[in-house]
Amino acid sequence: MTALSDLTVSVEPGIVGLVGANGAGKSTLIKILLGLLAPTSGRVRVLDLDPTVDAAAVRARVGYMPEHESLSPDLSAAEFVTHLGRISGLPRTAARERASEALRHVGLYEERYRQIGGYSTGMKQRVKLAQALVHDPDLLLLDEPTNGLDPAGRDAMLALIHRIGTEFGISVVVCSHLLGEVERICDSLIAIDGGRLLRSDNISAMTTVTDVLAVEVSEGIDQLAARLDLLGLNVRRDGRLLLVPLEDDATYDRILTAVAELDLPLHRLDQRRHRVAELFAAREVTHV
């Protein structure tokens, strides 16, 4: 089975979003970067090291936050993160100090002596992030860091990742199947699908294409499409929806004016949530 093929991409320091649907090959890519899987062909360089040759050297400088549950429930967070710090090669005292620091940075300080088994999902995600930070890596690989978090927890986690990437001086690769989530914090994006590279670009270049307004009217959809077309908007039909590229705030007004003038019953007008699928659809349209 081939999970990744013909994927050529180079990543600059900063925060990089790695987006793709479930099964697109994100986790496989991370495992190759960590030297846990050897690529059948091709070449990988991580921090100027080859993970297939210097796996230990790469892993000493990379922090990995896996997608799935990966904590010992019977240990306290302090004990667990300290232990993993030592497994990364930190001396005993340094491991203990940095474990406390890392837990403080992720917002778990008072609770760090409690057993992880009693933690909430949000706290567990934070412990997973703390263990990836404990040995002060140069690169963080985060696999679906917002998994299972409520909206507030998501925001806090994303803000934290943003801080790590900007203030801590650590490069971050964030994997997610939600483009809307990573685009908020990333400098650049890599989109993969079926193991193939779809796009690799600066974040601003990506989102200008994908910012789309969805308009739904209960009747007169053809009329409205014709009118908007006349106004110079690049309208696209999608079932009972009209999709209009959002150029600036004036686009809203022009659509609303057109609807009002035609006296049509407007059902909804909203900015579409960016999902990876739409990013791909938009790309096909613009490049066909």
Partner 1 sequence: MSEAAGVIHDIGYQRYTGPRFGRAYVFTSMYVHGLRTAFGLGRSAKAKIFPWFVLGVVFLTGTVLAAVRAQVPDAGVTYTAFVDMMAWLVVFFVAVVAPELVSRDLRSGVLPLYFSRPLRRADYAYAKLAALATAVFLLLGAPQVLMFLVAAFSADNMSQFWTEVGDVGPGLFYALLWAAVFAGIGLLVASMTGKRAFAAGGIVAVFLMTTPIVGVLSVLPSQTMNDLALLFSPSSLVFGVGVWLFDTGNEAEVIGPYGPLYLAVTLGVVAGCVALLQARYRKVASS
Task: Return residues touching partner 1 (CB under 8 A).
Answer: 27, 31, 34, 36, 56-57, 59-60, 62, 64, 66-75, 79, 83-84, 86-91, 94, 98, 101, 104-111, 115, 120, 122-123, 131, 135-136, 152-153, 156, 159-160, 163-164, 167-169
- CB nearer to partner 1: pick between 24 and 213: 24
First to last CA, the chain: 30
- CB nearer to partner 1: pick between 62 and 258: 62
Local structure of 152: helix, strand or coil: helix
The two tokens of residue 8 are 């050529």
- Report in angstroms how near the CB of residue 48 gets to partner 1 at its nearest: 17
- CB nearer to partner 1: pick between 108 and 279: 108
- Report in angstroms how near the CB of residue 96 gets to partner 1 at its nearest: 12
- Report in angstroms how near the CB of residue 157 gets to partner 1 at its nearest: 9
- CB nearer to partner 1: pick between 153 and 220: 153
- CB nearer to partner 1: pick between 141 and 276: 141
Local structure of 52: helix, strand or coil: coil
Is 265 exposed, middle or buried (CB count within 10 Å of its CB: 0-12, 13-18, 19+)?
exposed
Is 267 exposed, middle or buried (CB count within 10 Å of its CB: 0-12, 13-18, 19+)?
exposed
Q: What angle do CA 206, 212, 215 make, to 5 degrees?
A: 170
- Report in angstroms how near the CB of residue 125 gets to partner 1 at its nearest: 11
State the maximum Cα–Cα separation within the chain, in Å, rounded to a whole number: 73
Stated length of the chain: 288
- Report in angstroms how near the CB of residue 17 gets to partner 1 at its nearest: 20
CA distances from 8 to 29, 41, 68, 175, 192 (A): 11, 12, 27, 17, 11
Give the Cα separation of 149 and 236 in Å (integer): 35
- CB nearer to partner 1: pick between 118 and 265: 118
- Report in angstroms how near the CB of residue 222 gets to partner 1 at its nearest: 49
- Report in angstroms how near the CB of residue 135 gets to partner 1 at its nearest: 7
Local structure of 177: helix, strand or coil: coil
Beta-bridged to residue 227, according to DSSP, are none
- CB nearer to partner 1: pick between 136 and 187: 136
- Report in angstroms how near the CB of residue 18 gets to partner 1 at its nearest: 15
- CB nearer to partner 1: pick between 166 and 251: 166
